[in-house]
A = this chain, B = another copy of it.
Amino acid sequence: MPGEFNLIDKYFAHRQANRKDVDLALGDDCALVSPPDGYQIAISTDTVVLGTHFLADADPAAVAYKALMSNISDLAAMGATPAWFSMAISLPEIDEAWLAPFCDAMFELADAHNLQLIGGDTTKGPLSISFTIQGVVPKGQALTRSGAQVGDWVFVSGNLGDSQAGLSVILNPDDASKPHAKELVLRHFYAQSRIKLAERLRHHATSCIDISDGLMSDLKHVLKRSKVSAQLDIASLPITQQATEFYGDKLQAQLAALKSGEEYELCFTVASENKAALNDIADKVGCQLTCIGRIIANAETSLCDITLVRNGVALSDDDPAKQAQGFDHFN
């Protein structure tokens, strides 16, 4: 069994990209980078733990892709361009059959984003991987959660709900026989990168978040930070034919779209005058963008709340769609 330093050499040190702003990567006490003048640095940390975020039989390549993509998605949500990342990995033992495909997938995704591994820590312990990712964004152009204004339109990229369907298949053997089960599992692990979209949204969106906990839950973070409310039209939610067939009917697929976490799509708001420009952006980056609602003023009795309608008509209180909840690790 190779030692820690051999492990770093074998799997990590020789695989790095060569960004010009990385002055020193692996192999010293710290990495050294030279950020460009006039830029801010966006930083995010995410951890995946065996048993909590993935199962022991999960494909290591899929685990690597999903874990790193969730971090890339956080940069996208800020309108930042990926630059550097660090990895802290705990392993109960060195299992080369697991590590090799994990590293291949991680570096393939990183390379596709000109994202360089600059450091990390390898420790003995229960299997978990924690990435800290850094991106750069021109000063003042970051997309935050706090800029949504009354009258802005709420948009979402891609489709929603497929990831949760895939997770159901992973967790429930019975779901494996449902329509499109294999395809939806792949969608769960392999979200599309929204970085190119995010870079173009810098001058158009007033707020942005990525959907990691579920549309309802994540949009509420935007509403709280922006001190506004929102109205969403369930009928306009972008759901796939596959999800509809998997869930058996459209209503269930719409419910999944409201609460499905780990979609890694962007939910963002734009002012009316920028709405038309989104068609052009959608074409250029090859990403479907769907208007799903509008930012409204807070009611006196409910602050930062989401009102659901279907084709413009209010839902009754016993409509299942009203029960949609976000995902919280400790609840």
Binding site for B on A (CB under 8 A): 1-5, 7, 23-24, 27-35, 37, 40-53, 74-75, 77-78, 80, 84, 86-88, 90, 94, 118-126, 128, 130, 132, 134-135, 137, 139, 142, 144-146, 208-210, 225, 328-331
Contacts and interface: CB of A to CB of B under 8 A. Distances in A.
Given A128-B90, A130-B47, A329 B123 contact: yes
Contacts of A3: 328-331
Copies in the complex: 2
A37 B34 contact: no
A49 to B, nearest CB: 3
A130 to B, nearest CB: 4
29 contacts: A1-B330, A2-B330, A4-B330, A24-B142, A24-B144, A28-B78, A29-B75, A29-B209, A30-B43, A30-B44, A30-B75, A30-B78, A30-B135, A30-B142, A32-B78, A32-B142, A34-B40, A43-B84, A43-B118, A45-B87, A45-B120, A47-B123, A47-B130, A50-B125, A86-B132, A90-B128, A122-B330, A123-B329, A124-B330
Among A1, A49, A330, the most chain B Cβ lie within 10 Å of the Cβ of A330
A163 B12 CA distance: 30
B125 A30 contact: no
Contacts of A86: 43, 45, 132
Contacts of A135: 30
B94 A330 contact: yes
Nearest to A41: B33
B145 A52 contact: no
Nearest to A126: B126
